[in-house]
Chains A and B, each alone.
Chain A
Amino acid sequence: MDSSLPLLVAVLGAVLGGGLLGWSFRRASQSPALGAGIGAVAGVFGVGLFMAPLNFCTFEADRTTADNVFGVLLIAAGFLLIVLPVRWVALRLAAGQRLIGAQSTPGAFKGTVLPWLFLLPTLTVLVLFLYYPSFDTFRLSTLLARLGTPRTAFVCVNNYTRLIADTSYLNSLVLTLLISAAIVVIGLVLSLTVANFAYQPIKGAKIYRALLVWPYAISPAVAGVIFLILFNPTGGIINYFLGSLFNLKIPWLNDPAFAPWAIILASVWKSMGYNILFYLAGLQNVPNDLLEAAAIDGANALQRFVRIVVPMLSPITFFLVITNMTYAFFDTFGTIDYLTGGGPLSSTTTLMYRIYQVGIRNNDLGKASAESIILFVLVIGLTYLQFRGGERRVSYGA
């Protein structure tokens, strides 16, 4: 590595940050010099956010091109992470606006000390058990570290860049997206259908509704055990019935073509209760006069459902897509662990399950940390995309 590189990058950060904020301040009719000053400082901190702790290791002489590219990306990401929030804060402050929206609602706290005091217990817990471990994950992800081994070794960004060439990781990534999409789509379609039936005014509807919700109350591990008994290829109940009815035997758990479907079915069943609950509540908010008007205009039941009920439920569907996505990414772990253990042929090794295999089963904390940070960024990105894309199509009513 050229020893002048850190200086060069810092100057670049200062110039870019100063330029961006100077320009922003001028457009907002504020002093460009002040903006440029703040921007330059923020820019230096930004480019150094990841690189300073890493000591610019990605640009050492014996590093691969992938490492260099990753280093540039890290510099850019750090720059944006610092400069953009600073720009927002600086512009508001310069314009004399408060940072937190004006609190004129009745019953809101007037001072600043008391509300923070009330927030303190929650913040303490969050910092100790969520934020600190998260930051430590970043540090761990640059190490070769094993559980039960006191010594560690710094490996720069190897834990990240090695994944580019790791086909099993890429398979796992694609698989996770496919399984998640299937769980969300199949789960929501089935739930809406069932909720619509359960919503009909029939005798004992309340009992049906209660029974439909209870799978949600079962832990993923118990669901895994139930489906293990159902799907078992040799002695399972499902194959027993398929065998006696159609003379069919499906190798649910020991064939890579079927095992993901076993996971999807079990997960859908598990999350359906939750989805149905929300759809039942949503159905009660669909105005009856709209449906009656449509009926008078000659729309049949299917048309009324597709044209009126489904659009009216879009806020709930949007909410459920995000919760189900998160469920599919993180909470299918228990079901996978009991049902397939990630196999056969890694056909049910989702990214989340892989992190467990690498970090706990193989004790490789560094690699597992790197993979969990990638998963974290991935889920944030997906949620952001959903918010961007979803908001336009969601109708929150008049």
Chain B
Amino acid sequence: MLKFKTLVVALLALLAVVPAFAQDAVDVKVWIAFTDAGRLGWAQERAAEFNALFPQYNVTVEGYANYEELFAATALAAEQNSLPAIVQYFEVATQDARDSGYFKSIAEALGDRTEVNGQAFNLDDIIGPVAAYYTLDGQFTSMPWNTSSAIWFSNMTILNAAGVDAPPATWDEVEAACEKVMALDSAPEYCFTFPNHGWFFEQWLAQQNAEFANNGNGRDARATEVTFASDAGVAVLAWLDDMAQKGYLYYSGAQGGASWSTVDQAFSSQQVAMTAYSSSDTAVYTQVGVDNGFEVLASFLPYNDDTGWTGNLIGGASLWLVNGLAAEVEDGALTFLAFMTNTENAATWHQTTGYIAIRTSANELLAGEGWFETNPNFSVAADQLATSTVTSATRGAILGAFPAIRNVVTAAVDTVLLTDSAPADVLAQAQADANVILEEYNLLNAE
């Protein structure tokens, strides 16, 4: 009986305390597109640290399965006036995010301030290619967080056995390496693979300094047409088709977001010796080799010998500040954005995942600790971006309905790899289909 009484008293006390807490702290909701312990967990830990540091705010981080679902959830929340304070949008949804009117640019929200609640933004500290991508019409628009690039992972244990000393740097070198690998007695099933995700086509296009869309890749003015069915685009598909027909390229048949895991599986089970992948998973890929007893080496994404290498583009996502928030919520959101991307956090985020450390100061911090010397795979993506020539092609395309257009591109790659259709015809058709989508998007969104 005594226990029961104690329980009732405790409950009443709790009820009295909880609303008091809730009234004090300003709720700042953050929606991100990760559900894994590594990335969602990291963000939630930062939120907990932040809440302890700034008791006037209560930051909660909610994870969604993928970018597309988060995108849909945001649009629905906007219709119901229940948007959170911060939403993560992937890079190709940048134009959609701008047109939606849901968001306010970081520069505009900051005004003359350089710090909020003592948390400095130091936007000049953000590394060049990243700042270039998210600077639109001369304004810093959204806060970069997870930034990656497409790189190449090689199973050096297999390559060395085949007499290949270094990862291939060009398409011809890939083929030459594959010839040797597949001649091995203990040859893997296939030589290499890649996720059939629109991003890789865009990377190989940018490497050849070819634009994806008109009007300077949508950077000078709103893009009105896609232009990817150029010689450069056809070259990408023709190369992949050639590699598949020679039995070197493994294509899992999965497209878009579903393609990543099929590549993970093929690489970790050593069914392939090499793969293109996102640097976002450098930590996982390096560890897979350690766990399964083979050496994994990361290198730049191989490029077309005929056209040379101009540079690669970034990928990943950025954090958007919702428009029309109450002043105290907006300040809380800005404070958290600055905290989450400060030098220390940018460095640990890089170490946990493999996403690029987006701050020069974070890279210096990591270099000072000797991180890149002991973990060479982790410097590849940043080096690839740092040595890229910035052109309108390598800054990356900004256009409406880009996620839908990506699906058209992956379907074209699918068709080329699985049928006898000529790459040029398939890509021309894809470009026509994509232009219809873009035209309809612009009809609704262009001023």
Contact = CB atoms under 8 A, between A and B. Distances in A.
B68 A345 contact: no
Contacts of B414: 343-345
Contact of B418 (A234, A344, A362, A364): A344
Interface in A110-136: none
Contact of A232 (B72, B74, B76, B265): B265
B262 to A, nearest CB: 8
B418 A149 contact: no
Interface string A332-356: 0000000011011110000000000
A256 B189 CA distance: 20
B407 A357 contact: yes
B443 A144 contact: yes
Given A235-B269, A361-B407, A147 B441 contact: no
A150 B404 CA distance: 18
A363 B418 CA distance: 27
A265 B126 CA distance: 52
A296 B407 CA distance: 66
Which residue among B71, B189, B253, B414 has the maximum number of chain A CB atoms within 10 Å of its CB?
A: B253
A363 B440 contact: no
Interface string A246-284: 000001011110010000000000000000000000000
B48 interface: no
A280 to B, nearest CB: 37
Interface in B400-447: 401, 403-404, 407, 411, 414-415, 418-419, 437, 440-441, 443-445
Contacts, number: 97
B445 A149 contact: yes
Interface in A32-85: none
A344 B253 contact: yes
Contact of A360 (B72, B96, B265, B441): B72
In this complex, the member of A144, A235, A259, A363 whose beta carbon has the largest number of chain B beta carbons within 10 angstroms is: A363
Nearest to B408: A362
Contacts of A340: 253-254
A152 B444 contact: yes
A152 B189 CA distance: 50
Interface residues of A, number: 32
Given A253-B252, A341-B258, A343-B253, A234 B265 contact: yes
A149 B99 contact: yes
Interface string A145-157: 1111111110000
B96 A148 contact: yes
Given A148-B100, A151-B444, A362 B253 contact: no
B404 A362 contact: yes
Interface string B372-391: 00000000000000000000
A362 B68 CA distance: 9
Interface in B258-285: 258, 265-266, 269, 271
B78 interface: yes
B368 interface: no
Contacts of B189: 234
A151 B441 CA distance: 10
Given A149-B100, A235-B271, A360-B68, A253 B265 contact: no
3 closest cross-chain pairs (CB), A and B = A254-B253, A148-B75, A344-B253
Given A147-B76, A357-B407, 10 more contacts: A148-B96, A149-B100, A149-B441, A151-B444, A153-B443, A235-B266, A253-B254, A254-B418, A255-B253, A344-B418
Interface of B: 68, 71-72, 74-76, 78, 96, 99-102, 189, 250-256, 258, 265-266, 269, 271, 401, 403-404, 407, 411, 414-415, 418-419, 437, 440-441, 443-445
